[in-house]
Amino acid sequence: AQKVTQAQTEISVVEKEDVTLDCVYETRDTTYYLFWYKQPPSGELVFLIRRNSFDEQNEISGRYSWNFQKSTSSFNFTITASQVVDSAVYFCALSAVMNSGYSTLTFGKGTMLLVSP
Amino acid sequence: NAGVTQTPKFQVLKTGQSMTLQCAQDMNHNSMYWYRQDPGMGLRLIYYSASEGTTDKGEVPNGYNVSRLNKREFSLRLESAAPSQTSVYFCASGGVAGETDTQYFGPGTRLTVL
């Protein structure tokens, strides 16, 4: 069965620090997808990135970067020069093929990031 | 383009009452999903609908029913609410049935069962 582990329950940093959120996954699928979502204090879930298992290139989007390493089953998320607006709960998710044959997502329990001024 | 909308935003029920949570999407997505979010538990899938006319159970379906009314709408019904169903409920939609596509979420419904 698919499983996503976000071992860091809560991280506190001071503005401008870099921070890395860890995500480790387990799957038997040979093709799968990994996702990160952000949930700010307002409560909505915001999609950040989707990565397929064949693409191990790191990705950078502004202050955000993602490191996908198939060898260690990890898909870590780094925020460079953190800002107060980055304070949120971040979820890592993994695609899962259900018994019906259709795919859905399995989520980790989330990491709460608190950035203080 | 509203994306995914959910009603109501908040609801308080007494044990044993019933209610239906409504969800609609205007992105022409085939797949729709219902999740619940509890503190420290992440999001857990209740039911999903890969396409109009189909629904399937997720990880935590007990106590819930769903209806895929049409391509746009997917409702979640609690027939006899229990305190254990106190949670935040999220509806999501995704692109193509049977394929792994990005899911886009509604704003959530905060439900309290007394």
Cα A78 to its chain centre, rounded Å, is 9
Check pLDDT > 70 for residue B14: yes
Any bridge partners for residue A26, and if so which?
Answer: A3
Going residue by residue through chain A (117 aa), what tens digit of pLDDT does each one get? Answer: 789 999 999 999 999 999 999 999 999 888 889 999 999 999 999 999 988 888 888 888 899 999 999 999 999 999 999 999 999 999 999 987 766 667 788 999 999 999 999
B34 part of contact set with chain A, CB < 8 Å? no
B98 vs A35, A102, A108: nearest CB: A102
Peptide bond into A117 cis (omega under 30): no
Exposure of B69 in the CB half-sphere (CA atoms within 13 A): 12
B40 contacts chain A (CB < 8 A): yes
The string of pLDDT tens digits covering residues B68-98 is 989 999 999 999 999 999 999 999 998 665 5
User: What SS3 state is found at B30?
Assistant: coil
Across the interface, whether the CB atoms of B43 and A91 are under 8 A apart is answered yes
Looking at the predicted structure, is the pLDDT value of residue B51 above 90? no
- Chain A contact for B43, CB < 8 A? yes
- Closest CB to B42 among A47, A98, A109: A109
What's the alpha-carbon Rg for chain A, to the nearest Å? 14
- Pick among A42, A48, A95, A105 to test the B interface (most B CBs inside 10 A): A105
Give residues with Cβ within 8 angstroms of A15, minimum separation 6: A82, A83, A84, A115, A116, A117
Q: What is the CA radius of gyration of chain B?
A: 13
Who contacts A36 (Cβ-Cβ below 8 Å, separation ≥6)?
Answer: A23, A48, A49, A66, A75, A77, A90, A91, A92, A93
How many Cβ atoms are within 10 Å of A33's Cβ, its own excluded? 20
The whole-angstrom distance between residue A86's C-alpha and the CA centroid of its chain comes to 14
